[in-house]
Amino acid sequence: MTQEDAQYIRSKVMAHNKWFEECIPMIASENLMSPLAKEMLISDFADRYAEGLPGKRYYQGNIYVDEVELKAIELAKKVFDADFADVRPISGTVANMAVLFAFAQPGDTITTCALAQGAHISTCEFGAFGQRSVNSVNYPFNEHDMNLDVDGTIKLLKEVRPKVAQFGLSVFLFPPPLKELQDTFNEIGCLVWEDCAHVLGLIAGKQFHDPLREGVNIVSSSTHKTFPGPNHGLLLGQNLTEEQEKQLQKAVFPGVTSSHHLHAMAALAVTLAEMDVFAKDYAAQTCKNARALGQALYERGVPVLCPDLGFTRSHAIAVDVSQFGGGKDCAKALEDANIICNKNMLPRDTSSVRPSGLRLGAQEMTRLGMKESDMVEVADLISRVVVKKEDPAKVKEDVKTFKRQFTSIQYCFNAGEPAYGYHKLVE
């Protein structure tokens, strides 16, 4: 019955494809790859191994792999204006582990943001940081600004004198105040590391902020959130010594990877080439859409955080739905209406299972060609479910109709190809 099982799996994946074709995608950590990038995932690269650096592989058979990887490194340096790039980490978490392996010994102290304030689990005590036995000390946070408290952070850095000061969030509404912290970094001589997983695509498009010009030495990232590439990771460096660059490369391999998912690396290279051309327009429209969505929801009685700060400067907004049943129930009701988003903790929440918020991202809708006026329609559909408590099954029909206008991916070389179609490598 093996073949039946395989058919079963294939039919479920196809059902998922069909479903997402009819959904409004609002998970802030997801995106759609371009047709050209996605094609790389089903190439023969997917079946191969490469260990080490281009030109110095352990296995044979990497002639073209090396050429692709060298091109990927060159493009990454160009797109982010970076001194150093490593395209081998197979995810954002693995990129973070590589930074830890390179620059933190067990017992060292790293300053970082707290989970409840939007940090990622990998930088928390029970995630990679804690499991590497690194002591993490959290910066003070200003809930009103949804950002670090600058004076408190300066004081903390001077007291703790960390080896590495780490920044970056998964609910990342505003850029960290790096310029204001620069003198303190210089005074204590720490490495500055930012995890840009959520905002990499915005940084590629010169939106949000420019970490490598604001004193950051190491950027670690996923490549599939606002950066619309494959599930993969990336490391960038600026003003690192040659020794530090080597330490990072050694941490990636043989530290935390063996082969580095060559098909995904090739897809990343294609996405970098596309972002070199399209990132500016894509990122600017993404940020405009996020603000427009925030404004439209706010006008419909949904408390969006930071109204006096324009809601956000990134792709994401955070909304407080505690008065409408909480994040868990609202996210489920929205899913029943084909609007896909996630519940999220807000600063005062103590339960991650029943948090009071939703996190909504505009990047994937932007990729599908939506503009500010479409955000108003999306806000309408959301408020019908969340505020007016209309039957989600009824709203779902209108979501499907709305989504039919947006079936292809924009901001890429083959714009216009179906977003949820199939790829054939050999004609």
Q: Pick between residue 197 and residue 265 the one whose CB is nearest to ligand PLP.
A: 197
Q: How far is the CB of 57 from ligand PLP (least distance, A)?
A: 25
Candidate segments 11-19, 165-173, 274-282, 367-375, binder of ligand PLP by CB under 6 A:
165-173
Q: How far, in Å, CA of 176 to CA of 214, rounded?
A: 10
Residue (of 87, 80, 54, 72) closest to 238 by Cα position: 80
Candidate segments 6-14, 162-170, 352-360, 384-392, binder of ligand PLP by CB under 6 A:
162-170
> Using CB under 6 A, which residues numbered 342 to 381 contact ligand PLP?
none
Candidate segments 13-21, 193-201, 239-247, 249-257, binder of ligand PLP by CB under 6 A:
193-201
> Using CB under 6 A, which residues numbered 270 to 299 contact ligand PLP?
none
Q: Shortest Cβ contact with ligand PLP: which residue?
A: 92
Candidate segments 87-95, 181-189, 207-215, 399-407, binder of ligand PLP by CB under 6 A:
87-95
> Using CB under 6 A, which residues numbered 23 to 52 contact ligand PLP?
29
Q: How far, in Å, CA of 413 to CA of 132, rounded?
A: 42
Residue (of 264, 238, 246) closest to 98 by Cα position: 246
53, 249 contact by CB (below 8 A): yes
235, 5 contact by CB (below 8 A): no
* Total count of residues recorded for the chain: 427
Q: How far, in Å, CA of 389 to CA of 63, rounded?
A: 58
For residue 137, the tally of other CB atoms under 10 A from its CB is: 14
Q: How far, in Å, CA of 254 to CA of 23, rounded?
A: 41
Virtual torsion, Cα 75, 81, 86, 92, nearest 10 deg: -100
Q: Which of 92, 162, 230, 392 binds ligand PLP (CB under 6 A)?
A: 92
> Using CB under 6 A, which residues numbered 121 to 150 contact ligand PLP?
122
Q: Pick between residue 93 and residue 295 the one whose CB is nearest to ligand PLP.
A: 93
Examine residue 117 and tell whether it contacts ligand PLP (CB under 6 A).
no
Q: Which of 91, 138, 295, 344 binds ligand PLP (CB under 6 A)?
A: 91
Give me the residues that bind ligand PLP (CB under 6 A), please.
Answer: 29, 91-93, 120, 122, 168-170, 195, 197-198, 222, 233
